[in-house]
Structure 1
Amino acid sequence: MHEWFGATGGSEQVFRQIADLVPHGERFVLWKDHDAGETGLRESWLARTPLRHSKAVALPLMPLVWRTLSRQRFDVVISSSHAFAHTVKLGAPETTTHLSYVHAPARYIWSPAFDGRGSNPLLSVPRRILQGVDVRLSDHVRGYAANSREVQTRIRRYWRRDAVVINPPVDVEWFAAAPPADRVQAREYLLGVGRWIPYKNFDLIIAIAEAAGMPLVLAGSGPQETQLRQLAERANVPVVFEVRPDRERLRQLFWGARALLFPVHEDFGIIPVEAQACGTPVIGLRRGGLLETVVDGETGFLTDSTDPADHAALVRRLDELSAERIAAHATGFSPARFATEMTAWIDDECR
């Protein structure tokens, strides 16, 4: 079980890896985006409605959709959840073991300070209602796994449940095995990667590059593109946009970057691990997933500040770091490690 399935995204990568562990299993999603090439997915009835085009409008209906997903019953159900997938019920608790891998309790209803999509004061009452629904409809879940200690803490705070921590899989070997021409780049620019939406702080990334006096490459796509391009035109350093780079191009960009700028509070963050697999250090905030993926002072630098000057000061310290040490650290987040830990967790919960 997964929420909506997009063309790209860390949660989709995790879902694929979980599905590979149980290749005989059915794979359900709310809907699949039109540009997602994944095959073999069973979409919910929500996919046949216009609501598939608006996650925010569809959100209140999602618990109902998960509860009316199918008349089939299963011995084991594994959900990949960042909204309401963990509320799905395809059998009684006495006969069905339901396990949930949690990317985050839905930020827009539980943590609106992190994600502005739920911060409108007019949504405070609907948010409280959805919180109650979220807890009430998930009491049948036998076991939770969290993608980070950050998420483990939120599961305990919001749902009053314990969870094991299993960090997501990252294809670190592929990123490390770049062609020789990519590996000898001069590393003369800073890099920002991700979806161009407000909470990712790409405006701050541009300001950091200006304060550091270094060229910047922004890779990704999103609704803030026009606004970011306007900021880039006024910037005192070159800012290049790489819109929807493919995987090979993204690897080239990681290998050519002086550092990845990641001033965002993420639940885990696969992108910083991909960068480190390429020997590229990360400069970001001392919170969330970066506390688990970056070794401060060894594979990057973390700061509590959102002042561009403070981040720029860390850019000037990058020569203190070893690319070999950075790449070696990233190997601890491999798909093989994920498969081993997930298999052990599933086996333990199904005994």
Structure 2
Amino acid sequence: MRIAIVHDSLMCRGGAEQVTLSFHRAFPKAPIYTLCYQPELTFPEFKQCDIHTSQLQRFAKTDAIMKRLYFPFGIIAMHQLDVTQYDIVLISSTHCGKYIKVSKKAIVINYSHAAFRLVWEPESYAQYVNSRSIKRKVFDLVIAKLRSIDFKAAQRTDYFICNTERMANQVRGYYKVKKSIEVIYPPVNTANFYVDNGPKRYFLVVSRLEYYKRIDLVVEAFNQLGYSLVIIGKGVQADEIKAKANNNIIFKSGLSKEELAEIYAGCRAFIFPQYEDYGITPLEANAAGRPVIAYGQGGVLTTQIPVSDNPAEATALFFEQQTVEDLVNAVIKFEQIEHRFDPNFIRNHAEAFDEDVFINKIRQFVKEKYQQDRKQQTEIIR
């Protein structure tokens, strides 16, 4: 059983990259194929992997450059990557992973993290929202072409796996999928985090600094509150967000996993203002025994236990609207019940989403589909 792992690009430290690492741990001999790979921009564990990149690697040294060259050069480069010699192609994708060249006989399994946002949800990008006139028309033409390419590529997938039932519904709708879609929650490596019973000094955000992540909302709220806030991450909106922040807000990036674990363990609460189809960072906070203050939509409805009567049996406090006022009120409400959260309960909750659980499910799924395919081929020969 020859397996290849495919991921869109290895240019940042995000949840999709963590899933790709888990694929590697599930199948350690499988090579990884990707559009671009920059070791200093993503998780250091990838240095131990057998990684194959596209021709775009020669030009795209940063995530920003890769995105500027994506249409059409990234699409062409990904399609030229050849994995036709493999029996199983296990794809981790939000956009171009599914464009790779595969054999007609291969079993193609696509773990879909989210819809290709630029194609299916263009309004989640500031560049699109702020475009006008001719620029908007050009955007719409490019998006229409990308949507056609994305839809066609998705038809080669034999089996989709999604991170939530909502994502599965999107995949069914966007790609007209008739087969059943497995839902396997993405993993959190709980061994990387620990509970610290010492004093808590600051609130925490860990996120790419992108438009749809709504980190600007957190900055405005904490400018008003004046409380200590640590923001960890990089992104296209970084300069804009930093320019708005008061002195009570500190920015960090490029941390080791040990440094990240220490910062998680020392926070009062983790702030999660965005809508995500899943979202691993709230579970990372939980693995450190820390509660989450989150916008109460999307993946957190699956991964978090909201406060009701007893905070000791909860992992998160939700706010209803993505507004500065709602977030400020949520932080103030959190202060009143902060001491009632139980770090050990929160940690135990996170362990249900541990990486070992994920790896076992992925191995079982791949083995099952491979055996089904072999049986069908044998029956055809007979």
What TM-score results when the alignment is normalised by the length of structure 2?
A: 0.82
Post-superposition shift, 1:51? 8.6
1:19 aligns with 24
Post-superposition shift, 1:75? 1.1
2:349 aligns with 329
1:286 aligns with 296
Find 2:278's aligned residue among 268, 273, 287: 268
Sequence identity of aligned pairs in percent? 24
Post-superposition shift, 1:338? 0.2
* CA contact 2:202–2:227 (8 Å) conserved in 1: yes
CA distance in 2, matches of 1:152, 1:111: 16
Find 1:9's aligned residue among 14, 28, 41: 14
* CA contact 1:142–1:349 (8 Å) conserved in 2: no
CA distance in 1, matches of 2:59, 2:234: 26
Find 2:232's aligned residue among 219, 222, 228: 219
Coordinate RMSD, CA, aligned: 2.2
The within-5 A match list for 1:1-351 is 1-33=6-38, 35=40, 36=42, 37=44, 38-39=46-47, 40-49=50-59, 53-70=65-82, 72-92=84-104, 95-119=105-129, 120=131, 121=136, 122-161=138-177, 162-176=180-194, 183-233=196-246, 238-297=248-307, 298-318=314-334, 319=337, 320-350=340-370, 351=372
Post-superposition shift, 1:184? 3.2
Post-superposition shift, 1:22? 2.0
Q: For residue 349 of structure 1, give the secondary structure of its aligned residue in structure 2.
A: helix
Post-superposition shift, 1:205? 0.8
4+ residue runs of structure 1 moved beyond 6 angstroms?
A: none
1:50-76 deviation per Cα after TM superposition (whole angstroms, max 9, x unaligned): 597332322434443333212742211
1:195-246 deviation per Cα after TM superposition (whole angstroms, max 9, x unaligned): 222222222112222444422122222343333332223x7xx222223332
1:131-174 deviation per Cα after TM superposition (whole angstroms, max 9, x unaligned): 11111122221100012233222212211224211111111132
CA distance in 2, matches of 1:326, 1:289: 17
CA distance in 1, matches of 2:144, 2:209: 28
Q: For residue 325 of structure 2, give the secondary structure of its aligned residue in structure 1.
A: helix
Q: For residue 221 of structure 1, give the secondary structure of its aligned residue in structure 2.
A: coil
Of residues 205-214 and 149-158 in structure 1, the stretch that sits farther from structure 2 once superposed is 205-214
Gaps of 5+ in 2: 1-5, 308-313, 373-382
Change (3 A) 1:149 1:59: farther
Post-superposition shift, 1:20? 2.2
CA distance in 1, matches of 2:242, 2:156: 47
Post-superposition shift, 1:101? 0.8
CA distance in 2, matches of 1:349, 1:192: 39
* CA contact 2:83–2:100 (8 Å) conserved in 1: no
Q: For residue 174 of structure 2, give the secondary structure of its aligned residue in structure 1.
A: helix
Structure 1 counterpart of 2:168, one-letter code: Q
Structure 2 counterpart of 1:207, one-letter code: E
Structure 1 counterpart of 2:150, one-letter code: D
Of residues 158-167 and 271-280 in structure 1, the stretch that sits farther from structure 2 once superposed is 158-167
Q: For residue 98 of structure 1, give the secondary structure of its aligned residue in structure 2.
A: strand
Change (3 A) 1:157 1:169: same
* CA contact 1:21–1:343 (8 Å) conserved in 2: yes
Q: For residue 6 of structure 1, give the secondary structure of its aligned residue in structure 2.
A: coil
The number of equivalent residue pairs is: 341
CA distance in 2, matches of 1:110, 1:17: 27
* CA contact 1:102–1:145 (8 Å) conserved in 2: yes
Change (3 A) 1:195 1:72: same
CA distance in 1, matches of 2:277, 2:21: 19
Change (3 A) 1:54 1:146: same
* CA contact 1:75–1:96 (8 Å) conserved in 2: yes
* CA contact 1:51–1:58 (8 Å) conserved in 2: no
Q: For residue 259 of structure 1, give the secondary structure of its aligned residue in structure 2.
A: strand
* CA contact 1:32–1:47 (8 Å) conserved in 2: yes
